[in-house]
Chains A and B, each alone.
Chain A
Amino acid sequence: QKEVEQNSGPLSVPEGAIASLNCTYSDRVSQSFFWYRQYSGKSPELIMSIYSNGDKEDGRFTAQLNKASQYVSLLIRDSQPSDSATYLCAVGADGLTFGKGTHLIIQP
């Protein structure tokens, strides 16, 4: 059974600091990895996708993938209070397997 593990948090980070979110997955043949942001009562919003080992940067967000370690991370630089949300790690090429999410709180 495919599993995606995340620390549920809450992870509290001061405004302006770097927030680091981590995720591990069990299916070694996975090819596609995604980070979604979900606000309470809303559906997930795609933040980043990553398919190759290494880093991928998009604005304040950097996704990191290490397939050998089966590890994905998301860094949020210059954290803003509006970044406070639950961040979901998802794995898969068709139907996605989601982690339970990390609740991130940015303290003003």
Chain B
Amino acid sequence: GAVVSQHPSWVICKSGTSVKIECRSLDFQATTMFWYRQFPKQSLMLMATSNEGSKATYEQGVEKDKFLINHASLTLSTLTVTSAHPEDSSFYICSAHPGLALDEQFFGPGTRLTVL
């Protein structure tokens, strides 16, 4: 159990375009999902916390108008990178949290974004 999927697994786009990444919890309901970003040889950095039915909470330094997050259901959160630029190229990973205190997060397989 506790499977999280992401789509697409990789994407290459031109500078200025928008890219949408989907994160789904396949066998449990996730009241909270998280979006992380990992640059090469760096650790995961939390970008935002996504709660079903409410606005996402962004970490300091993350532009909310650039990284749009929608958590419309208990099994789906989407991250849209708007007007992507080469510096947005990174490994984007989502995780899902069943919602109980101290519960473990389950990570998706990640999406490799390359902006040309």
Binding site of A, secondary structure by majority: helix, strand, loop or mixed? loop
- A94 interface residue (CB < 8 Å to B): yes
Question: How far in angstroms is the closest Cβ of chain A from B107?
Answer: 5
Bound: A101/B44 CA distance, A: 10
Kindly count the residue-residue contacts between A and B in the assembled complex, taking CB atoms under 8 Å apart. Answer: 48
In the complex, are the beta carbons of A100 and B104 less than 8 A apart? Answer: no
Question: How far in angstroms is the closest Cβ of chain B from A89?
Answer: 9
Bound: A31/B104 CA distance, A: 12
In the complex, are the beta carbons of A44 and B34 less than 8 A apart? Answer: no
- State the interface size on chain B (CB cutoff 8 A): 23
Among A43, A94, A97, A101, max chain B CB count under 10 A is at A43
Question: How far in angstroms is the closest Cβ of chain A from B65?
Answer: 20
- B46 interface residue (CB < 8 Å to A): yes
In the complex, are the beta carbons of B43 and A43 less than 8 A apart? Answer: no
- B109 interface residue (CB < 8 Å to A): yes
Question: How far in angstroms is the closest Cβ of chain A from B77?
Answer: 13
Residues of B within 8 A of A25 (CB): none
- B93 interface residue (CB < 8 Å to A): yes
Residue of B nearest to A94 (CB): B49
Residues of A within 8 A of B97 (CB): 94
Residues of B within 8 A of A99 (CB): 43
Residues of A within 8 A of B101 (CB): 93
8 A-B pairs with C-beta separation under 8 A? A32-B102, A46-B104, A94-B34, A94-B97, A96-B105, A98-B43, A99-B43, A101-B43
6 other A-B residue contacts (CB within 8 Å) besides A41-B91, A94-B34, A95-B46: A34-B104, A46-B105, A49-B104, A88-B43, A88-B44, A96-B34
